[in-house]
């Protein structure tokens, strides 16, 4: 048995789950599991959709690597269950996970604390809305279900009829929907690992925005790491990302997404507490630019549970 085995004990990698992001989670989790096993860690796969959670205790699991994306895995639910079972786990705690997953409350927090974020409105499926009034205020918008990730249910709208269609689609995923003023410009993501901010990545896609297809299926998406920014811009963006991460109570590891408009102003979009860990994912890309292999990254995240 290797030293790492002694160090971590028996580890379960939680992936799959019930959310709309199950397909991505299966890929993330398998990549994490393979990396841990290649480092000599006694790690097993555990899919909460297929196995009841209490089996973790029966299996003698000593710590958990959470690779569940979306609801049930990234929203504080699984974190609360693991806290109750007294099993250490990777990433943010219950509150940090729940707040980061809630796009609407994240925006309220950013605004309340004076962090730069795009103007927005919130629409509830039970209360009705005036699409024409919203479009008159914002011109063009991005529509986001409050509790989904991987750009699921997201779409853009430039007219009242388009907004109504976008909201109808978003309401399939969530009763509360965030409507953000459209920002034309560059898209960035900033990885946080422990207390360290990793190199900034810029994503470019012909899709109009960095959507699900651009993230997981397209071959036309381009990544620039480190992003072509001045040292002052890089430092500002990294500082903003850390502030947002800390504000929502996130910890351990995660990713903060942001944009820069045509005038050079940066805007925070959201905080991700269990980002993708597939071969196309951004966190491994940022870690690699900082000199860490995928295996080293995965072990470093797991070390946070010790």
Give per-residue pLDDT as tens, 154-169. Answer: 889 999 999 999 999 8
Q: What is the pLDDT of residue 210?
A: 52
Q: Catalytic annotation on 186?
A: no
Q: What is the pLDDT of residue 151?
A: 61
CATH number of 3-90: 3.40.50.20
Q: What is the pLDDT of residue 4?
A: 60
Q: Catalytic annotation on 23?
A: no
pTM tops 0.85, yes or no: yes
Helix (H, G, I), strand (E, B) or coil at 259: strand
Give per-residue pLDDT as tens, 221-277. Answer: 889 999 999 999 999 999 999 999 999 999 999 999 999 999 999 999 999 999 999
Taking the C-alpha atoms of residue 72 and residue 17, their distance in angstroms, rounded to an integer, is: 7
Q: What is the pLDDT of residue 126?
A: 87
Catalytic residue (one of 150, 151, 155, 281): 150
Give per-residue pLDDT as tens, 16-44. Answer: 999 888 999 999 999 999 999 999 999 99
Q: What is the pLDDT of residue 111?
A: 96
Beta-ladder partners of 141: 157, 181
Q: Is the pLDDT of residue 3 over 80?
A: no
Give per-residue pLDDT as tens, 141-196. Answer: 999 988 765 567 788 999 999 999 999 989 988 888 999 999 999 999 999 999 99
Catalytic residue (one of 25, 151, 272, 281): 272
Catalytic residue (one of 21, 102, 148, 180): 21
Q: Catalytic annotation on 58?
A: no
Q: Catalytic annotation on 276?
A: yes
User: Model confidence at 217, in pLDDT bands (50, 70, 90)?
Assistant: low
State the Cα angle at 304 between 242 and 93, rounded to 5°.
Answer: 65
Give per-residue pLDDT as tens, 4-20. Answer: 667 999 999 999 999 88
Catalytic residue (one of 22, 71, 186, 255): 255
Distance (Å) of CA 123 to CA 135, 165, 182: 13, 14, 16
Pick the CATH number of 185-303 from 3.30.470.20, 3.60.15.10, 3.60.21.10, 3.30.110.30: 3.30.470.20
| Per-residue b or e along 44-67, where b marks 16 or more CB atoms closer than 10 Å to that residue's CB | ebbbbeebebeebeeeebebbbbb
Q: Catalytic annotation on 17?
A: no
Q: Is the pLDDT of residue 208 over 80?
A: no
Q: Catalytic annotation on 272?
A: yes
Catalytic residue (one of 148, 174, 180, 270): 270
Catalytic residue (one of 5, 34, 62, 216): 216
Is domain 119-181 classified as CATH 3.30.1490.20? yes
Q: What is the pLDDT of residue 1?
A: 42
Q: Catalytic annotation on 150?
A: yes
N- to C-terminal Cα separation, the chain:
19
Q: Is the pLDDT of residue 72 over 70?
A: yes
Q: Catalytic annotation on 270?
A: yes
- The rounded radius of gyration (Å) of the Cα atoms in the chain is 19
Catalytic residue (one of 42, 186, 257, 281): 257
List the chain domain ranges: 3-90, 119-181, 185-303
């Amino acid at each position: 048995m290797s030293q790492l085995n002694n160090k971590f004990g028996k580890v379960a990698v939680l992936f799959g789950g019930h959310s709309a992001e199950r397909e991505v989670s299966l890929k993330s989790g398998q990549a994490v599991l393979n990396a841990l096993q290649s480092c000599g860690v006694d790690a097993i796969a555990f899919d909460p959709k297929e196995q009841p959670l209490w089996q973790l205790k029966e299996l003698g699991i000593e710590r958990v690597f959470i690779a569940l994306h979306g609801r049930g895995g990234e929203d504080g639910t699984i974190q609360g269950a693991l806290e109750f079972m007294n099993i250490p786990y990777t990433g943010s705690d219950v509150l940090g996970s729940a707040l980061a997953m809630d796009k609407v409350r994240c925006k309220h927090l950013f605004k309340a604390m004076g962090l730069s974020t795009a103007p927005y409105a919130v629409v509830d499926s039970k209360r009705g809305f005036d699409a024409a009034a919203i479009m008159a205020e914002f011109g063009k918008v991005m529509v986001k279900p409050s509790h989904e990730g991987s750009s699921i249910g997201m779409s853009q709208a430039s007219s009242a009829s388009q907004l109504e269609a976008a909201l109808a689609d978003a309401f399939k995923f969530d009763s509360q929907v965030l409507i953000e003023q459209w920002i034309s410009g560059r898209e960035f993501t900033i990885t946080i690992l422990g207390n360290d901010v990793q190199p900034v990545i810029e994503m470019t896609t012909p899709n109009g925005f960095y959507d699900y297809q651009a993230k997981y299926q397209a071959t036309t998406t381009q990544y620039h790491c480190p992003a072509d920014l001045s040292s002052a811009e890089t430092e500002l963006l990294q500082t903003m990302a850390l502030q947002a991460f800390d504000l929502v109570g996130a910890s351990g590891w995660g990713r903060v997404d942001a944009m820069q408009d045509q005038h050079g102003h940066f805007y925070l979009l959201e905080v991700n507490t269990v980002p993708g860990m597939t071969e196309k994912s951004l966190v491994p890309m940022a870690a690699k630019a900082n000199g860490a292999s995928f295996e080293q990254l995965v072990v470093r995240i797991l070390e946070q549970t010790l």
